Amino acid sequence: MSEITRTSPDSLQETLQQVMRLIERHKLIEGMVHKQDMPRHELVEQLVHKQHVAELEKKLASLHPADIAHILEALPLNDRGMVWQLVSSKDEGEVLLEVSDAVRESLLADMAPHEILAAASELDADELADLVPDLPQAVQQELFTSLDAEELAQVETALTYRDDEVGALMDFDMVTIRDDVTLEVVLRYLRRFSALPNHTDKLFVIDERRRVKGVLPLEQLLVNDPELTVAAVMATDVVLFHGHDDAGEAAQAFSRYDLVSAPVLDSNGLLIGRLTVDMMVDVIQEESEAEVLSLAGLKDEDLFSSVWASAKNRWPWLALNIATAFLASRVIGAFEATIAHLVALATLMPIVSGIGGNTGTQTITLIIRGIALGQINAGNAPRLLLKESGIALLNGLVWGGVLGLIAWLLYRQIDLGLVMMGAMVLNLQVAALVGIGVPLIMQRLGRDPAYGSSVLLTAMTDSMGFFIFLGLATLFLT
């Protein structure tokens, strides 16, 4: 009997560091070979070099494709290319599926067409459909001609769905049975398989037209008398999905109903595939990452992409930001006379705008999360506005009061303190209103409520913060 593998939570970190050490040693040797060009030493160095490469190759072969993917994502571009060369070709397809889109691009760029085809040959139709859009046109053509008719039809079906639809994520591999046979027959039928599709926790019971009549959980198959018929023990309250259902919502349903697998139907209501929990976990992780990134105005970015590629990823947001910052600056510009009259205003105004921006960010974060979870709608939005407005009033009076007091003490002008407090109260109201309004309007317009929301928020709290504070100052202090 072989050893039981103990995957400790730290082991992946350790493996990553091990691989990085091997790469470093490898590069060190390469540098030495290069520098000391002494014929006598060369042979020895080359041997040591080969030994390190072999060690690295062996290490990689022992890893799960998901772990190789993780390591590749954590490596700078050059090292990544070197390690990728050493990955066994039977793992390459799986690794390509596991890495993020940005990293996948960098790996495919390093591969010759015949290498890509070899990697693809290890994949199922649904996995191929995932990969195909990222391949060069010529390779796509060649790949299609290498498939048999059934696989080709499956890939084509999967490709008719958008990336964020259930149909693009479903698996075509599944076990279907009829409801008029006994469990004994089902058990004998299963023994003819050498393996069941991944994550088979239930068999799908269909009629001759492929309409789903129910599901037979393996549990029911195992605990019931084999003499019973499928119809007698199958479950008929089934959570079903349609190919065009939103993948994110399907993932939420998997999480809510604790599903492992579920049938997917086409537009005629006929069974075409199967969703499994592993894909849904990926969807949940990707969506939450996308949300975090989108709040910072980013799209998925390879940690080690080039400066130029990264800069391009960040520019749309930055350009918008510069435009709004410039706008805010012009608001101040309109009050230059007031500032020239009382320079203290220039000192205090960033506090008003900054705190407005930060409290607004808290509001907008909660609202975006509420929208994502489907907990906010037209029915309860007014009540949320009331609550946030109440918090803003409380914060404005308490913290605005504290800041007003400090302004008064610093500059010995009670009017200035009152203007400070008044501006805080008003700007926090702006922050609450914008923090709730912007994501709700974005959603109503059918857009991602997170992406760009927070730029619009800071644009408003900055401009309005300056306008309110300097406006009040112009009215009452000059």
157 binds a second copy (CB under 8 A): no
Residues 206-245 contacting a second copy, CB under 8 A: 212-214, 218-219, 221-225, 231, 236-240, 242, 245
DSSP assignment of 183-197 equals HHHHHHHHTT-SSPP
End-to-end CA distance of the chain: 88
Among 36, 46, 176, 380, binds a second copy (CB under 8 A): 380
How many whole angstroms separate alpha carbon 397 and alpha carbon 395? 6
Q: Are 203 and 215 in contact (CB under 8 A)?
A: yes
Assess 351 for contact with a second copy (CB under 8 A): yes
Residue 138 or 378: the one with the smaller Cβ distance to a second copy is 378
Percent helix, strand, coil in the chain (nearest 5)?
70, 5, 25
Q: How far is the CB of 362 from a second copy (least distance, A)?
A: 5
Torsion of CA 143, 148, 154, 156, to 10 degrees: 50
Among 28, 32, 47, 394, which residue interacts with a second copy (rule: CB under 8 A)?
Answer: 394
Q: How far is the CB of 336 from a second copy (least distance, A)?
A: 5
> Bridge-partner residues for 271, per DSSP?
265
99, 107 in Cβ contact below 8 A? yes
- Between residue 459 and residue 478, which ones bind a second copy under the rule CB under 8 A? 462, 466
The window from 105-113, 133-141, 148-156, 274-282 that contacts a second copy (CB under 8 A) reads 274-282
With binding defined as CB under 8 A, does residue 85 bind a second copy?
no
Cα(188)–Cα(471) distance, rounded to whole angstroms?
83
Shortest distance, position 453 Cβ to a second copy, whole Å: 12
Binding positions for a second copy, 360-379, rule CB under 8 A:
361-362, 365-366, 368-370, 373-377, 379
Question: Under rule CB under 8 A, which residues in 97-156 are in contact with a second copy?
Answer: none
Distance, CA of 393 to CA of 425 (rounded, Å): 6
Q: Which residue in 32, 61, 303, 475 binds a second copy (CB under 8 A)?
A: 303
Phi-psi region of 211 (alpha: psi -120 to 50; beta: other; left: phi over 0): beta
Query: Residue from 57, 399, 437, 441 that binds a second copy (CB under 8 A)?
Result: 399
- Rule CB under 8 A: say whether 291 interacts with a second copy: yes
CB of 238 to a second copy, least distance (A): 5
Q: Which is nearer to a second copy, 66 or 86 (CB)?
A: 66
Cβ atoms within 10 A of the Cβ of 412, count? 9
CB count within 10 Å of CB 46 equals 12
- To the nearest whole angstrom, how small is the minimum distance from the Cβ of residue 405 to a second copy? 12
CA distance 72 to 85: 11
Binding letters toward a second copy, positions 170-209, x by CB under 8 A: -----------------x--xx-xxxx-xxxx--------
Of residues 44-83, those binding a second copy (CB under 8 A)? 64, 66-67, 70, 73-76
**Closest residue by Cα to residue 20 from 90, 61, 62, 78:** 78
Nearer to a second copy, 136 or 326 (CB): 326
Q: How far is the CB of 321 from a second copy (least distance, A)?
A: 5
Going by C-alpha positions, the residue among 345, 319, 341 that lies closest to residue 467 is: 345
Judged by beta carbon, residue 135 or residue 433, the one nearer a second copy is 433
d(CA 157, CA 366): 39
Within 8-27, the residues that bind a second copy by CB under 8 A are 8-10, 12-13, 16-17, 20
Q: Are 96 and 108 in contact (CB under 8 A)?
A: yes
